[in-house]
Amino acid sequence: MPSYLITGVSKGIGDPQQWEFFRQIALNPSNTVICLVRNKAETEKKVAEEFPTGNHLHIIQGDITDYASLQNAVTQTIEITGGGLDYLIANAGVVPHFDAYDPIEVLGQNPALLEDECLNLFKVNAIGNIHLFNLFVPLIQRGTAKKVFAISSGQASLDMIPRLKIEVAPLYSMSKAALNVAVAKFSAQYAKEGILFMSICPGMVDTGHFLDATPEQMKGFGAMLSSFAEYTPIFKGPATTTAAVQDVLAVIEKASIEKGDGGSFVSHYGNQQWL
């Protein structure tokens, strides 16, 4: 039975993409699926509703910004799996509203808030995942698949930003770029042991993040969508969570050290086409 640990699943109650990663992997009763969540009670309720016979599913309380809770999660995971772990999917993260619609110059008009938001983004999206990887690598070393994946964003692509002139979401993009570098550094250290570290962007997914946008904000959002259509004619708008996660899981299944995927940052297509 392959074992998976997925972070961020409890946010899936409000973020369908994060829940969908868990749901699709949990559909196979041969998988041992461990969820690291902040809201254990609510997640257990939702899991029981969708998987009434889910004896292969395990919910662990934890927060990637709380180092002690991560240490406890390692202990509980060892008890569940017997010591190893095959797949780690770092799915937890924060997508702020603060910088979603404005360029960095506008954000700089409130320097204190910019600094607070930036520090929080780096703490969650980058530093928290560094702690997560460091603590769970000993389990991955004892696993069979030996695969670690971080869910990133095409917004962190240094090619895409200037090409499409994407001004918005600068702080979020910076935090994801930092995550990508961390993943590459882990790969540089552990590829020789056969452990695959990768960053994957799921593409643009319809998760409801823009439902509360003002008409003025939607105007800027529409301009970004137009630039996406210029980037690739096949882009027809945000993908469903089901389709996006299917694509990412296909990349996860095919990726390997032998194919040169270690430390790479790819899209849901398994290449550098982000949309």
| pLDDT reading at 223 higher than 80 | no
Q: Where are the domains of the chain?
A: 3-266
> Residues of the chain with pLDDT > 90: what percent?
66
On the question of pLDDT at 47 being above 80, the answer is: yes
Residue 6's pLDDT is 96
Name the CATH architecture for the domain at 3-266: 3-Layer(aba) Sandwich (3.40)
Residue 31 pLDDT greater than 90, yes or no: yes
> Alpha-carbon distance 243 to 240, whole Å?
5
pLDDT digits (tens, 9 = 90+) for 138-170: 999 999 999 999 999 998 999 888 888 888 899
Q: Are 180 and 150 in contact (CB under 8 A)?
A: yes
pLDDT tens-digit readout, 60-76: 999 999 999 999 999 99
pTM greater than 0.85 (yes/no): yes
Q: Which residue has the higher pLDDT, 133 or 215?
A: 133
pLDDT for residue 176 is more than 80: yes
Q: Taking a C-beta distance cutoff of 8 angstroms, is the pair 26, 48 a contact?
A: no
Q: Would you give the end-to-end CA distance of the chain in angstroms?
A: 34
Is residue 266 within 8 Å of 272, Cβ to Cβ? yes
Asked if pLDDT for residue 185 goes beyond 70, the answer is yes
Q: What is the pLDDT of residue 13?
A: 38
3-state DSSP of the chain: CCEEEEECHHHHHCCHHHHHHHHHHHCCCCCEEEEEECCHHHHHHHHHHHCCCCCCEEEEECCCCCHHHHHHHHHHHHHHHCCCCCEEEECCCCCCCCCCCCCHHHHCCCHHHHHHHHHHHHHHHHHHHHHHHHHHHHHHHCCCCCEEEEECCHHHCCCHHHHHCCCCCHHHHHHHHHHHHHHHHHHHHHHHHCCEEEEECCCCECCCCCCCCCHHHHHHHHHHHHHHHHHCCCCCCCECHHHHHHHHHHHHHHCCCCCCCCCCEECCCCCCCCC
Catalytic-residue membership of 176: yes
269 among known catalytic residues: no
In whole angstroms, give the CA distance from residue 211 to residue 163. Answer: 27
Annotated catalytic residue: which of 11, 46, 147, 176?
A: 176
Catalytic pick from 4, 87, 101, 172?
Answer: 172
Mean pLDDT, rounded, of the chain: 89
Of the candidates 125, 120, 267, the residue with the CA atom closest to the CA atom of residue 205: 267
CB atoms within 10 A of CB 34: 24
Give the whole-angstrom CA distance, residue 17 versus residue 29. Answer: 21
Asked whether the predicted pLDDT for residue 87 surpasses 50, the reply is: yes
